[in-house]
Amino acid sequence: MEYFTQQLINGLTLGSIYGLIAIGYTMVYGIIGMINFAHGEIFMVGAFHALIFYLLAVSLGFSFVPLALVLVLLLAMVFTGAYGWAVERLAYRPLRGSFRLAPLISAIGMSIALQNYVQLMQGARTKTLQPIVEGGFAFWHIGESTVSLSFMQILIVVTTVLLMTVFTIVITKTALGRAQRACEQDLVMASLLGIDVDKTISLTFILGAMLAAVAGMMFLLNYGVIDFYIGFVAGIKAFTAAVLGGIGSLPGAMLGGLLIGLIETFWSAYFTIEYKDVAAFVILILVLIFRPSGLLGKPEIEKV
């Protein structure tokens, strides 16, 4: 039971990270109906930004850890947001209105390019960071085993919940959120009603990239190792999460992320760790076959 609880905690932590990335997929899909294949790489770039800025902050003498972390988080979000904007501007905007698979192929190219760009800039070796937030609660001592909840895990879950709240407010209460929802329903109609569609789409990409940067930083802090390849697998899993939750639905993305995180953790804990990636892909295939609209999504209506 304590093993189970421990895995539950680990799974929720991992799931929060997936959920944050999944929101980027789901938002972009909702608004322009394409799979932003390069989003996983944006997450990877975010993790690199976080590492660069953290090391920079340390070398500049920010010894107070919470302040340094907040600063790093904000910087990583801003600079990764720029990447989200640039990817949309360069690779997707010229293809709006082109045939359906064109943006997807362009996205694959972008993903390969970003991966190799980071490898070229920062080297192929795995980058490490020692644990910054250490310690935690150990509770539930039964026999020899204990269940522990580290401060890092609390930090991840709290940050995720906080961001989700802010995000929900942005989507439901602000003008930007209204414009986004309008574009989601009908791009042409929204533009006729005076909504700057290009700007709204750009902002969507920037917001998605910012959340991916947060996920990247959390990944870095939690696991302490990053390389230029982390974006591919994490991206696929987050996409699976978005599909599982119902693509286009924000709460769905978060729910899907948590579920994928839990499934992956339990699969590794109770079955085989080698096949944990297979688990995610199998779920993706099963969901698409049996419930293509996902858990919280609306079924798609085919129009002629």
Partner 1 sequence: MAEAAGDGQRDFAFYFRDAGITALMTLPIAFPMFGFHLIVGGRGGTSAGYGTVVEPRLIWVLVAVLVVFVGRFAISFLRNDPAVTAATERSAIDMRRYMSETIAPWIGTGLLSVAILWPFLPFVDRWLLDLGILVLTYIMLGWGLNIVVGLAGLLDLGYVAFYAVGAYSYALIALNFDLSFWQCLPLAGVIAGLFGILLGFPVLRLRGDYLAIVTLGFGEIIRIILLNWYEFTKGPDGISGIPRPSFFGLPFTNQEGATTSFHKFFGIEYVSTHRIVFMYYLILALALLTNAFTERIRKLPVGRAWEALREDEIACRALGINPRNTKLTAFAVGAMFAGFAGSFFATRQGFISPESFTFIESAIILAIVVLGGMGSQLGIVLAAVFLIGMTELFRELEQFRMLAFGAGMVAIMVWRPRGLLTRREPSVSLNDTRSGI
Q: Which amino acid is at 287?
A: V
Q: Candidates 1, 142, 188, 289: give the one binding partner 1 (CB under 8 A).
A: 289
Interface segment toward partner 1; rule CB under 8 A; list 8-16, 123-131, 184-192, 196-204: 123-131
Helices (H) and strands (E) in the chain, counts: 11, 4
* CA atoms of 193 and 185, how far apart (whole Å): 13
d(CA 191, CA 189): 5
Applying the rule CB under 8 A, the residues between 17 and 36 that interact with partner 1 are 34-35
CB 32 within 8 A of CB 187: yes
| Residue 292 found at the interface with partner 1 (CB under 8 A) | yes
Single residue of 5, 8, 96, 122 touching partner 1 by CB under 8 A: 122
Helix/strand/coil for 150: strand
Of residues 55-74, those binding partner 1 (CB under 8 A): 55-56, 58-59
Residue 161 has a CB neighbour count (10 Å cut-off) of 12
**Helix (H/G/I), strand (E/B), else coil: 166:** helix
**Torsion sign across C-alpha atoms 147, 153, 155, 156:** negative
How far CA 297 is from CA of 3, 111, 253, in Å, comes to 33, 27, 10
Instruction: Tell me the number of residues near partner 1 by CB under 8 A.
Output: 76
The end-to-end CA distance of the chain, in Å, is 54
Between 196 and 300, name the residue whose CB sits nearer to partner 1. Answer: 300
Nearer to partner 1, 56 or 154 (CB): 56
Cβ proximity to partner 1: between 123 and 135 the closer is: 123
CA-to-CA distance for 32 and 180, rounded, in angstroms?
Answer: 10
Q: Give the pair of three-digit tokens for residue 67.
A: 């302040």
295 binds partner 1 (CB under 8 A): no
List 165, 198, 281, 299, residue binding partner 1 (CB under 8 A): 281
133 binding partner 1? (CB under 8 A)? no
Closer residue to partner 1, CB minimum distance, 175 or 290? 290
Using rule CB under 8 A, residue 154 touches partner 1: no
**Positions 167 through 226 that interact with partner 1 (CB under 8 A):** none
48 binds partner 1 (CB under 8 A): yes
Q: Are 57 and 73 in contact (CB under 8 A)?
A: no
Among 70, 120, 161, 166, binds partner 1 (CB under 8 A): 120
State how far the Cα of 67 lies from the Cα of 75, in Å rounded to an integer. 12
Tokens standing for 181?
């929802």
284 part of the interface to partner 1, by CB under 8 A: yes
* 136 φ, ψ (degrees, to nearest 5): 165, -175
Which one of 5, 8, 52, 251 is in contact with partner 1 (CB under 8 A)?
Answer: 52
Choice from 170, 236, 269, 295 touching partner 1 (CB under 8 A): 236
Residues 73-112 that bind partner 1 (CB under 8 A): 78-79, 82-83, 85-86, 90-91, 94-95, 98-106, 108-112
Give Cα 211 distance to the centre of its chain: 6
Nearest approach in angstroms of CB 1 to partner 1 is 30
Measure the CA–CA gap between 257 and 255, rounded to whole angstroms: 5
- Work out whether 285 is an interface residue with partner 1 (CB under 8 A): yes
6 vs 239, which CB is nearer to partner 1? 239
CB of 160 to partner 1, least distance (A): 24
We find the least distance from the C-beta atom of residue 142 to partner 1, in angstroms, to be 34
